[in-house]
A and B are shown apart, each in its own frame.
Chain A
């Protein structure tokens, strides 16, 4: 009894921290970039850090900070953030079995950590019982949040001394590519990605992020049609 009580929680916490290490390292440039973006966009270091604490989603944060700095209307910014983060619906849907049968507090609190890296971490863990999933998820989620906010603060602090280079500008789209490319193994995904890319570029002059919306919508429609034709 004692062995189980003493060692099982520690094992799962350690496993989560061990899995999180390389992920946090990979995300570091992106988090730093958000801190730098907040400062250089004229919003102040606090805006980037606050966005990290509240949103925990780099692409939406960059979108929101850029649109805020550009003076976009609040509703347009909100719509853009919802669109950019709409993929969390998919991740949450896929992870729903992790939360099924868990206590109510965990079913409300746990999904707040749903984001690309935690989804990737959880998707490859099928060796945990219900309590172990809770410990693993909460450790990975809070650890990621702490690292994300800390690295964003570091970026905000370093922004004045970092050289003015365009090199960091490609970090965010490169991060999106890093997540995207492994998803392109199926034909519908490739069809959707092609349609989304072409449409997003053609529609990019549209105001308030509507080009992005058009690209996403075209991609989903094209992928759905390709999926149907391949059945």
Chain B
């Protein structure tokens, strides 16, 4: 029950995020400074998500934990693949590369 209610509330909030700058306050009416700040949101959010996924709740010490090494290696390979394909992005390749590194690591260890 709680799960359904929380997901419904999250859906309403997400719907508002998607429509507000199209239907309620069209984006071209925003001040220039606000439009520029919005432009910086995506990279900051995405990299913070990656960092949070790696660190968990352990802080900087997580980066030195032996269990984090294969994750960092897998994500480094994924980042490299994403960089090499950045002009014609193929979202599947970095994911498959990272999963492959993890599988190889598990097989070898």
Q: Hey, which bits of chain A sit against chain B, CB under 8 A?
A: 22-23, 25-30, 43, 47, 50-51, 54-55, 57, 59-60, 64, 68, 74, 77-78, 81-96, 99-100, 107-108, 110-112, 114, 117, 120, 165-185, 188-189, 192-193, 195-202, 204-205, 209, 211-212, 215-220, 222-224, 227
Contact = CB atoms under 8 A, between A and B. Distances in A.
A174 B103 contact: no
12 contacts: A77-B6, A89-B17, A99-B23, A166-B106, A173-B98, A174-B78, A176-B49, A177-B78, A177-B98, A180-B47, A215-B48, A223-B43
Interface in B34-70: 35-60, 62-63, 70
Contacts of B71: 166, 169-170, 173
Nearest to B5: A74
Q: Which interface class (under 10, 10 to 19, 20 to 34, 35 or more) fits B?
A: 35 or more
B23 A78 contact: no
Given A54-B11, A96-B21, A177 B79 contact: yes
Nearest to A27: B91
Contact of A220 (B17, B37, B92, B99): B37
A167 B106 contact: yes
B40 A189 contact: yes
Residue of B13, B18, B56, B89 with most chain A CB atoms under a 10 A cut-off? B18
A68 B6 contact: yes
Contact of B11 (A55, A177, A180): A55
B23 A175 contact: no
A198 B48 CA distance: 8
Contacts of A189: 40, 43
Given A29-B99, A93-B27, A93-B30, A192 B11 contact: no
Contacts of A88: 14, 17-18
B96 A173 contact: no
Contacts of B36: 224, 227
